[in-house]
């Protein structure tokens, strides 16, 4: 099993690092893809190392996609390859998990039609406009799509990721 996290400068630090460390704790390999390889900083100042370029990722290489929030999704969604990979992983039924503003990538990838989902409330109307049914709960699971609202939802968010990838994460 292998996971992919899509980030850019200004990512919500906790929403990146909790899943990143959590997967490492479970022994799952993780790629961090961003606009270019190297270092960016989260909105609270934490450094984040990017080891893959957003324009060279392949959906086939991953079983789990994580889309953290903050200011990062407004950059990630500008990369067509990031959107393709999101679409392909959704279509392949792989686990796709977005939290907070991470939902903006889902809107751009156009994968929300008919889906139940949640997100940071300030962008709920964008998810609705993109065809989702917005639900105000700490975590919403609809098929292979897992969504949450804010950093404090991270425990529930990862519990569901855990459930969905049960064979791999402990």
Interacting residue ranges for its own copies, rule: CB under 8 A: 13-14, 17-18, 21-22, 24-25, 44-46, 74-75, 77-78, 104, 107-108, 110, 121-123, 125-126, 129-131, 151, 154-156, 158-159, 162, 170
Q: Which is nearer to its own copies, 42 or 62 (by Cβ)? A: 42
Q: Which is nearer to its own copies, 45 or 93 (by Cβ)? A: 45
Q: Which is nearer to its own copies, 122 or 167 (by Cβ)? A: 122
Q: How far is the CB of 112 from its own copies (least distance, A)?
A: 9
Q: How far apart are CA 58 and CA 158, in angstroms?
A: 23
Q: Which is nearer to its own copies, 144 or 151 (by Cβ)? A: 151
| Catalytic (active site) residue 101 | yes
Q: How far is the CB of 110 from its own copies (least distance, A)?
A: 8
Q: How far is the CB of 125 from its own copies (least distance, A)?
A: 4
Q: How far is the CB of 111 from its own copies (least distance, A)?
A: 12
Q: How far apart are CA 145 and CA 21, in angstroms?
A: 21
Q: Catalytic residue numbers?
A: 101
């Amino acid at each position: 099993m292998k996971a992919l996290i899509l980030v850019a400068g200004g990512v919500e630090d906790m929403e990146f690092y909790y899943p990143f460390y959590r997967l490492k704790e479970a022994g799952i390999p993780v790629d961090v893809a961003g606009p270019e390889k190297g270092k960016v900083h989260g909105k609270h100042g934490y450094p984040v190392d990017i080891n893959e370029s957003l324009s060279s990722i392949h959906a086939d290489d991953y079983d789990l996609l994580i889309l953290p929030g903050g200011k990062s999704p407004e950059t990630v969604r500008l990369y067509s390859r990031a959107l393709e990979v999101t679409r392909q992983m959704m279509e392949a039924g792989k686990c796709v998990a977005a939290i907070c503003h991470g939902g903006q990538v889902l809107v751009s990838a156009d994968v929300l039609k008919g889906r139940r989902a949640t997100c940071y409330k300030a962008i709920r109307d964008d998810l609705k406009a993109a065809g989702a049914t917005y639900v105000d709960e700490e975590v919403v699971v609809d098929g292979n799509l897992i969504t949450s609202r804010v950093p404090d939802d991270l425990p529930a968010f990862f519990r569901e990721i855990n459930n969905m990838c049960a064979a791999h994460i402990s």
